[in-house]
Amino acid sequence: MKKKAAPKATASARTTETLDIGLDAKVRASSVKALSGILANQHVLYIKTRNFHWNLTGHRFHTLHAFFEAQYDALALAIDKTAERIRMLGSSSPGSMKEFLALASLKECSGALIGGDEAIVALRDDHEAAARELRKAVDATDEAGDAGTADFLTELLQNHEQAAWMLRSFLE
């Protein structure tokens, strides 16, 4: 018995619904493209944060272990909301690690023991990079007239700025 090939995830194949929400298909496709990259970065950052939570070493282990857990829990909620925003725009969300790694600008990190300061710096840098990308996406979606997505992205931006600030505070 032959297995059916999985459908390829292209921008046009992702559109699954006809909507009348005041945004034309081109604007929605542009927003979905931006959201898909953001979702991919969220997954990479989520996995990296869990990795560091598991493999952390050093004198601040307990404090940072708990802090990283709170951060990956917050990322898990953001991931869900981002995928749901993509669905609100009438598209299917990317859902495989292969898709996420192809779409992400953040880089994953292999599992290995890691000291607290090294982990903090890596996560801080990723949250700051995510904030920079979100800022661009907020401007683009706002200019395109997608106020709902721009507002959604603004909240994500603020969350990354806060996470980066908290991580920086550990280094002072």
SS3 70: helix
Do the domain assignments include residue 17?
no
CATH number at residue 86: 1.20.1260.10
Q: Could you tell me what percent of the chain has a pLDDT over 70? A: 90
Residue-averaged pLDDT of the chain? 90
Do the domain assignments include residue 8?
no
Answer for the pair 40, 104: CB distance below 8 angstroms, yes or no.
Answer: yes
SS3 60: coil
Q: 56: which strand partners?
A: 114
Do the domain assignments include residue 167?
yes
Answer for the pair 127, 167: CB distance below 8 angstroms, yes or no.
Answer: yes
Token digits of residue 10: 């292209």
| Residue 108: Cβ within 10 Å count | 15
pLDDT value at 40 more than 80: yes
Give the pLDDT score at 152.
98
Burial 76-85 (b: 16+ CB within 10 A, else e): eebbeebbeb
Range of the domain at 61: 23-171
Strands 56-57 and 114-115: parallel
Give the pLDDT score at 75.
98
Q: Region of 92 please: left (phi>0), alpha (psi -120 to 50) or beta.
A: beta
Provide the CB-side half-sphere exposure for 70 (13 A, CA).
Answer: 11
Number of domains, the chain: 1
Do the domain assignments include residue 80?
yes
Do the domain assignments include residue 10?
no
Do the domain assignments include residue 55?
yes
pLDDT category of residue 8 using cuts at 50, 70 and 90? very low
pLDDT category of residue 10 using cuts at 50, 70 and 90? very low
- What is the per-residue pLDDT across 62-117, written as a single tens digit (0 to 9) for each? 999 999 999 999 999 999 999 999 999 999 999 999 999 999 999 999 999 999 99
User: Among 87-91, 133-137, 151-155, which stretch is predicted with the lowest mean pLDDT?
Assistant: 87-91
Give the pLDDT score at 134.
98
For residue 152, what are the CA distances in angstroms to 53, 104, 157?
28, 19, 9
Average pLDDT of span 141-149: 94
Do the domain assignments include residue 98?
yes
Do the domain assignments include residue 140?
yes
pLDDT value at 38 more than 80: yes
